[in-house]
Amino acid sequence: MLPYWRLSAYYFFYFAFVGAFSPYFTLYLQSIALTAADIAILMSLMQVMRILAPNLWGWLVERYGKRLAVIRLSAVASLGGFCLFFFTTRFDGLFVAMALMAFFWSAALPLVESLTFSHLRHEPARYGSIRVWGSVGFIAAVLLIGYALDFLPIDSVLWMTALVLAGIAACALALPEAEANPLQRASVGLRETLRRPEVRALLGACFFMSAAHGALYVFYSIYLVEHGYEKSLVGWMWTLGVVAEIGVFMLMPRLMRRYSLREILVAAFACAVLRFVLIGWGIDSLAVLTFAQLLHGATFGAWHAAAIAAVNLWFPGKLQSRGQALYGSLSFGAGGMLGGLVSGFTWDSIGAAWTYTLGSAFAMVGLVWLVRGWRPERLALGEGGAT
């Protein structure tokens, strides 16, 4: 039977960590008198490790197996690395703690995605109904911790985040392994898979999609506040985007029955081209910004669900972990790091509106690469639904 609630609980806590850590941990670092440069260096380790760690762990799982053991080890070790933050405020100690935590935490998600699709091999369209609990976890953490910090000291974010990591570890210990699909045991090699133009097109396009979101994740809150919006509205705008994402995840089984993965991805990239232009030039209109945030359901929800479904099809058997690791490191790792760094250089030099327009251009590059490289007549391992 599908371990629906155990998988859903893992996603809930995994993305609750993102909701607890990303918005609030920098405030803690600022409170212990770190400079902006020190904070930037520490936070960049998250992206660096998302490039390095998933591929290393994916290779080890492909070579030696033990996928579930690695998932459990990464959960416990990331909690251990984070606990070092309780014992030091020196930069070198914080650097070690961040590197350890990020290295193990970033290793887990591609392996859990692979595990989830192994459990869903007969009904992959149900992925969205499981992954949606990650979005629920993010909303719960970002809102509850935000309200709690109005009454608690800022260093309380340490124990609240540690509790979330403990939840990840508990869920990892409860996850069951999935039997390998007998039809996928004799899989093709990684190099052969990567030679396929549709595979390269998807991975390249996803790199640019994450780069397109760089200015959003780094500067969106600052952009709103600078234009006179209340901080409470900023929080709810982020929540609105995630709510839209949840709605799309819930609709994905129906969408995947009606449209091919390629069609869903093309629509998502087209929405991204529009969304970032709207954010850049429509900052004075709350209605425009609201519509742009609702597009997050397409630019992240539909894109991510369709992309990992395609990766699951094209990297069968033992290659699943490597495929998910490549997808994560190239998109959220390398693409996200590029987008964030570029937006940091352009924000003051060419202005916010043109920085977001550059994000739209990144999405357009991804869209063109996807359309030209993944021809609709190509079948993915005989699966018509992925054309």
Among 233, 373, 242, which residue's Cα sits nearest to residue 300? 242
Q: What per-residue confidence (pLDDT) applies to 349?
A: 84
Give me the helices (H) in the chain, please: 4-31, 36-64, 67-83, 91-119, 127-148, 156-174, 190-194, 197-212, 214-226, 231-258, 261-281, 286-294, 296, 303-314, 319-328, 336-349, 352-373
Residues in the chain: 387
Q: What per-residue confidence (pLDDT) applies to 160?
A: 94
- Give the CATH number for residue 191: 1.20.1250.20
Please give the angle made by the CA atoms of 274, 276 and 282, to the nearest 5 degrees: 90
**Does any domain span residue 92?**
yes
Task: Tell me, yes or no, whether 143 and 204 share the same domain.
Answer: no
**Does any domain span residue 382?**
no
Task: Tell me, yes or no, whether 198 and 248 share the same domain.
Answer: yes
**Does any domain span residue 236?**
yes
Report the predicted TM-score, pTM, of the whole model to 2 decimal places: 0.75
Task: Tell me, yes or no, whether 279 and 218 share the same domain.
Answer: yes
Please give the angle made by the CA atoms of 254, 259 and 264, to the nearest 5 degrees: 100
Which amino acid is residue 121, in one-letter code?
R
**Does any domain span residue 182?**
no
Task: Tell me, yes or no, whether 34 and 68 share the same domain.
Answer: yes
Task: Tell me, yes or no, whether 123 and 238 share the same domain.
Answer: no
**Does any domain span residue 323?**
yes
Q: What per-residue confidence (pLDDT) applies to 212?
A: 93
Task: Tell me, yes or no, whether 156 and 208 share the same domain.
Answer: no
Q: What per-residue confidence (pLDDT) applies to 127?
A: 79
Residue whose entry in the numeric block shows the structure tokens 């053991």: 69
Q: What per-residue confidence (pLDDT) applies to 152?
A: 85
Task: Tell me, yes or no, whether 226 and 343 share the same domain.
Answer: yes
Per-residue pLDDT of the chain (387 residues; tens, 9 = 90+): 778 899 999 999 999 998 888 777 877 887 888 776 677 678 778 878 888 877 787 777 767 777 888 899 999 999 999 999 999 999 999 999 999 999 998 888 878 888 887 888 777 767 778 888 998 898 888 888 877 877 888 889 899 999 999 999 999 999 988 765 554 444 567 778 888 889 999 999 999 999 999 888 777 777 887 888 776 677 788 888 888 988 888 888 889 889 999 999 999 999 999 999 999 999 999 999 999 999 999 999 999 889 988 988 888 776 776 787 788 888 888 888 888 778 877 887 888 899 999 999 999 999 999 999 888 755 444 444 454
Among 295, 305, 308, 167, which residue's Cα sits nearest to residue 243? 295
Task: Tell me, yes or no, whether 162 and 203 share the same domain.
Answer: no
Task: Tell me, yes or no, whether 244 and 300 share the same domain.
Answer: yes
351 phi, psi to nearest 5 deg: 100, 160
Which amino acid is residue 167, in one-letter code?
G
Decide if 152 contacts 88 (C-beta within 8 A): no
Task: Tell me, yes or no, whether 204 and 353 share the same domain.
Answer: yes
Q: Point out the domain boundary residue: 174, 199, 225.
A: 174
Task: Tell me, yes or no, whether 136 and 196 share the same domain.
Answer: no
Query: What contacts 204, CB < 8 A, 6 or more positions away?
Result: 366, 369, 373
Domains held by the chain: number: 2
**Does any domain span residue 56?**
yes
Q: Point out the domain boundary residue: 149, 174, 199.
A: 174
Q: What per-residue confidence (pLDDT) applies to 120?
A: 82
**Does any domain span residue 98?**
yes
Containing structural domain, residue 141: 1-174
**Does any domain span residue 379?**
no
Task: Tell me, yes or no, whether 113 and 153 share the same domain.
Answer: yes
Which amino acid is residue 38, in one-letter code?
D
Give the whole-angstrom CA distance, residue 190 versus residue 219.
Answer: 37
